[in-house]
Amino acid sequence: MKHTISLIATIIGFFTLSTHSILAQQSGSEDQGKLSSVSYQPPAEVLIKLETSGCKGYCPVYKLTFNVDGTMNYSGYRHVEEVGEKYAKLTADEFSKLKNAVRRADLWNLSQELPVTVADAPYHTFTVYEKDKKYKVKGAGPLPKELEHLNQLMKDIAENHGMMVKKGVDPNDPSNMKGEVIVQFRPEINAGNFCMQFMELKTRPVRRISEDNIWIIGFSPSELTEAQFIDILKGMDGVISAQSNKKLQQRKN
C-alpha cells in the first residue's frame, strides 16, 4: 500500500514538472524536412494550430503548431504512437501548400462553433493567427470542404516528418506496447507483482535476462515517454537501476 501511494505521488509530481520541460526529439541530420537537432523554442508568431480531443474509443489526442518561419511542433498527449514533443522544418513545397490551404479555408469567416452531425466524433479546434489577432474554429465533422482539406494537409505534413497522428493507439493492445526498459530489482522483488503497481501505465515483465534479478520491462509509449518511465522507476523502492533497452535491441539487429 505504501508503494502504491508513493507511486501515485511520484507520477503526479513528475508529470507536473515534465509538462514544462519536455525537449524536442533530436536528429543528427541537418537536411530540410528532418527533425531538428535543436531543442524547440516557441517562435514569436504562429500561423495555425490544430488541437484534437478524445472520444469514447482511442482517438489520438495531440496538438500541431505550424509557425510563420516554416517550422512545426508536435505535442502528443494520449492514444498516440509517441507521447511527448517533436520539432521539424517543413520543406518549401509543404509550407507553400499549407499557406495556400490556410488562405482558402478562410477560418476568419467561419462560425466558431461548427454544427456537429457525427456521434462521438473527436473535436478539432483550429486557431488561426494574424499578427496580434487570433480566431478559433471548433468542429467535429463534417467540416467544410476547404477546412477538411486543410485538416488533412496538416496531418499529412506531420506524418511526413514522423509524427503519426492519423491512427489512434489502443494502449491495451499488446502489439502497441513497444516500449521496453531494463530494470534490476532487489533480490526479494517479484517482477510480476512489481508491475501490478503500474497497471494504469500498461507495464508488464517481458523476460528475465540475468540471475541478478534483471528484467526487460515493457510499457506503452502512448501512456508516457521512456525517460519519464525510467525516472519513475529510479524513485521506486525495490529498484536498483533502470535504463533504456535501445542499445540491447540494436545489438541484436
DSSP 8-state code for residue 224:
S
Host H or E run for residue 84: strand 84-89
- Regarding whether 69 and 96 lie in a shared domain, the answer is yes
pLDDT for 37 equals: 32
Does the pLDDT of residue 222 top 90, yes or no?
no
Return the residue matching grid coordinates 499549407.
98
Q: Which residues contact 100 (CB under 8 A, 6 or more apart)?
A: none
Q: What is the mean pLDDT of the chain?
A: 79
Domain edge (last residue) among 130, 160, 190? 160
| CA distances for 144 relative to 85, 105, 106, 114, 153, angstroms | 29, 8, 10, 9, 14
Structural domains of the chain, count = 2
Count of CA atoms in the C-beta half-sphere (13 A) of 246: 4
Same domain, 110 and 213: no
Give the pLDDT confidence of 173-204 residue by residue, as tens digits. Answer: 655 556 889 999 999 998 888 888 877 677 87
Domain hosting 136: range is 31-160
Model pTM score: 0.58
Q: In what order do the strands lie in the sheet with 84-89?
A: 84-89, 71-78, 61-67, 46-52, 124-130, 133-139
pLDDT higher than threshold 80 for residue 233: yes
Count of CB atoms within 10 A of residue 238's CB? 18
Task: Report the CATH number at residue 85.
Answer: 3.30.1560.10
Look at residues 131, 160, 189 and tell me which one is the last residue of a structural domain: 160
187 and 152, same structural domain? no
Q: Where are the alpha helices (DSSP H) in the chain?
A: 2-18, 92-105, 145-160, 191-195, 226-234, 246-252
User: Do 150 and 193 have their domain in common?
Assistant: no
Residue range 21-75, pLDDT digits in tens = 433 333 333 333 333 333 445 555 999 999 999 888 889 999 999 999 999 999 9
How much is the pLDDT for 85?
87
Query: What's the whole-number mean pLDDT along residues 10-23?
Result: 42
- Return the pLDDT at 55: 86
Pairing verdict, β 124-130 and 133-139: antiparallel
Residues 146 and 51 reside in one and the same domain: yes
Q: Which helix H or strand E contains 75, and what residues bound it?
A: strand 71-78
Q: Report yes or no on 118 lying in a domain.
A: yes
Residue 184 included in any domain: yes
What is the grid cell recorded at 206? 517481458
The whole-angstrom separation of Cα 253 and Cα 251 is 5
CA 21/CA 17 separation, integer angstroms: 7
Task: Give me the pLDDT at residue 119, please.
Answer: 80
Q: With contact defined as beta carbons under 8 Å apart, do 158 and 64 qualify?
A: yes
Looking at the structure, tell me whether residues 129 and 186 fall in a common domain: no
At 94, the amino acid letter reads: E
In a domain, 168, yes or no: no
The closest of 228, 238, 165 to 11, measured between CA atoms, is 228
